[in-house]
Amino acid sequence: MDNKDKKVPEVVIRRLPRYYRYLQELELSGKTRISSNALSERMGVTASQIRQDFNYFGGFGQQGYGYNVRMLLDEIKDILGVTKGYKAIIVGAGHLGHALANYNGIKNRGFKIVGMFDNDNKKIGSECNGITVMGMEKIRDFIRDNGVDIAMLTLPKDATDRVADMLVDCGIKGMWNFASSELAANLTVPVENVHLSDSLMTLTFKINRNNEKPM
Amino acid sequence: MDNKDKKVPEVVIRRLPRYYRYLQELELSGKTRISSNALSERMGVTASQIRQDFNYFGGFGQQGYGYNVRMLLDEIKDILGVTKGYKAIIVGAGHLGHALANYNGIKNRGFKIVGMFDNDNKKIGSECNGITVMGMEKIRDFIRDNGVDIAMLTLPKDATDRVADMLVDCGIKGMWNFASSELAANLTVPVENVHLSDSLMTLTFKINRNNEKPM
């Protein structure tokens, strides 16, 4: 079955970063090839599901050989756009903004954080991991002059919608939103809403179930 | 079909916090009832899937009536354990640790952050949102004396495994891990690994695809 021209389902999209992580680990440990069964076991998905996933992008396996780790990793990097050197700004220079500016997981994947913005006079002018925090009035020119692709929003919930609209107007191509709100679905650019507490509640669900188990 | 005694699949578990969020919004906006079709549309899942999800917990709908918002919300809160007042500590008092200590999404869901730990002498003794950072040598007694349930780990990758083993030994019931590592699967307590960059890569995948579209 060839899925190549079909719309990629959200569940497949969300598996791609996991493939990326596992393949990177394999490469770091010196593995050059992985059987479709071993990959399946590692990912917790059937080998047939993996084949179907890859078919959305043309398919990368060879019958009887499995997958070439480096090649598969390169393909997935390409699909995920981590080779593009996307430029990002952080909007909101609070603790979370600082945490993102210092987060190696962003730099390692080829993203460049080129600016940081806040409207708090106490924060403007301060430095964070080599980046000087600028006032919000500079954001429009900065995005245009620097060709910024992504805005990482660490703003209070009530400011987020307004700022997001302005950023789209400035030409931002996508937004990574940490406000505990579902950023308006009517935006014309892709948005990823991070709901940290969803993951915390998944944990407590499991703790709860664990406690129910007979001892 | 009654799923009640079956193991709840991961995909269903991950939908529960989303049900929780949507129902809370509905309740805040004064809605008392939601039809199964409206809930389905809002969640992006079929009405039949929603019924199947709820059947894992006994089922909460009435034929022809839809769902009572308050009742459904209470059931889901209970399932997720957000009514239990779980006590948590933050291990690692860097920017991310501070961000979590100040994150309303945690407090709003009934979690209590009761302590914060670090092994950096410059951080020990400092205050964060009313919590004094303590040295790691105090963590064992603190967990025992305060009946701590959850550890939120914002540590460097290479310290995480060792600290996690120690925390399990201290009686921690679950861990929320922000190190960019898959925390050892052989731990005897539930662990939620938060891979922030997975979500960022999902975003760039979508930006990439957007750019491929014909103008």
Show residues of chain A in contact with B194, CB under 8 Å. 196, 199
**pLDDT of amino acid A96:** 94
CA distance to partner chain A, nearest, from residue B26 (Å): 14
pLDDT for B204 beyond 80: yes
The DSSP-derived string for A7-73 is PPPHHHHHHHHHHHHHHHHHHHTT--EE-HHHHHHHHTS-HHHHHHHHHTTT---BTTTBEEHHHHH
Does the beta-carbon distance from B204 to A106 stay under 8 Å? no
Does the beta-carbon distance from B207 to A150 stay under 8 Å? yes
CA distance to partner chain B, nearest, from residue A29 (Å): 15
Q: Rounded mean pLDDT of chain B?
A: 89
A199 → closest Cβ in B84, B102, B194: B194
The DSSP-derived string for B156-201 is -HHHHHHHHHHHHHTT--EEEE-SSS---TT-SS-EEE--HHHHHH
pLDDT for B39 beyond 70: yes
Cα distance between residue A113 and residue A106, in whole Å? 8
Confidence of residue B11 (pLDDT cuts 50, 70, 90): confident
Does the beta-carbon distance from B207 to A106 stay under 8 Å? no
Cα distance between residue B108 and residue B42, in whole Å? 22
Cα distance between residue A19 and residue A16, in whole Å? 5
**pLDDT of amino acid B194:** 92
Could you tell me the two tokens for A59?
């398919």
The DSSP-derived string for B112-148 is EEEEEEES-TTTTT-EETTEEEEEGGGHHHHHHHHT-
**pLDDT of amino acid B110:** 84
**pLDDT of amino acid A215:** 41
Maximum distance among all alpha carbons in chain B? 63
Q: Which of A200, A202, A213 to mutate to test the interface with B (most CBs of B within 10 A)?
A: A200
Q: Rounded mean pLDDT of chain A?
A: 89
Cα distance between residue B38 and residue B47, in whole Å? 9
pLDDT for B215 beyond 50: no
Does the beta-carbon distance from B99 to A103 stay under 8 Å? no
Instruction: Give the residues across from B112 on adjacent strands.
Output: B87
Q: What percent of chain B has pLDDT over 70?
A: 93
pLDDT for B59 beyond 90: no
Phi/psi for B7 (5° steps) reads -70, 135
Angle between helices A47-55 and A36-43 (to 10 degrees): 100
Q: Which of B73, B207, B215 to mutate to test the interface with A (most CBs of A within 10 A)?
A: B207
Show residues of chain B in contact with A198, CB under 8 Å. 14, 17-18, 21
Does the beta-carbon distance from A190 to B210 stay under 8 Å? yes
Other C-beta atoms lying within 10 Å of the C-beta of residue A146: 13
Write out the H or E segment, with its range, that includes residue A151.
strand A150-153
Instruction: Judge contact between B104 and A180, C-beta under 8 A.
Output: yes
B196 → closest Cβ in A103, A205, A211: A103
CA-nearest residue of chain A to B212? Answer: A79
Q: What percent of chain A has pLDDT over 70?
A: 93
Phi/psi for A6 (5° steps) reads -80, 160
CA-nearest residue of chain B to A206? Answer: B190
Confidence of residue B212 (pLDDT cuts 50, 70, 90): low
Instruction: Judge contact between B172 and B201, C-beta under 8 A.
Output: no
Of A58-62, A187-191, B4-8, B177-181, the poorest mean pLDDT is in B4-8
Does the beta-carbon distance from A16 to B201 stay under 8 Å? yes
Taking CA atoms, A60 is separated from A4, A11, A68, in Å, by 12, 19, 9
Is this structure's pTM higher than 0.90?
no
A16 → closest Cβ in B21, B94, B205: B205
Show residues of chain B in contact with A160, CB under 8 Å. none
Question: Which residues lie closer than 8 Å to A168 by C-beta, 6 or more apart?
Answer: A187, A188, A189
Other C-beta atoms lying within 10 Å of the C-beta of residue B176: 27
Instruction: Judge contact between A197 and B106, C-beta under 8 A.
Output: yes
Phi/psi for A76 (5° steps) reads -70, -40
pLDDT digits (tens, 9 = 90+) for B76-88: 999 998 888 999 9
**pLDDT of amino acid A130:** 93
* Of A182 and A80, more confident: A80
pLDDT digits (tens, 9 = 90+) for A106-136: 888 889 999 999 999 999 999 999 999 999 9
Does the beta-carbon distance from B200 to A13 stay under 8 Å? no
pLDDT digits (tens, 9 = 90+) for A152-195: 999 988 888 889 999 999 999 999 999 877 776 678 899 999 98
Highest mean pLDDT among A14-18, B141-145, B203-207: B141-145
CA-nearest residue of chain B to A195? Answer: B105
CA-nearest residue of chain B to A174? Answer: B207
Please return the burial class of A139, using the count of CB atoms within 10 Å of its CB with bins 0-12, 13-18 and 19+. buried
pLDDT for B105 beyond 90: no
In degrees, rounded to 5, the angle at the alpha carbon of residue A71 between the alpha carbons of residues A88 and A55 is 85
Cα distance between residue A17 and residue B202, in whole Å? 7
pLDDT for A214 beyond 60: no
pLDDT for B116 beyond 90: yes
pLDDT digits (tens, 9 = 90+) for A163-175: 999 999 999 999 9
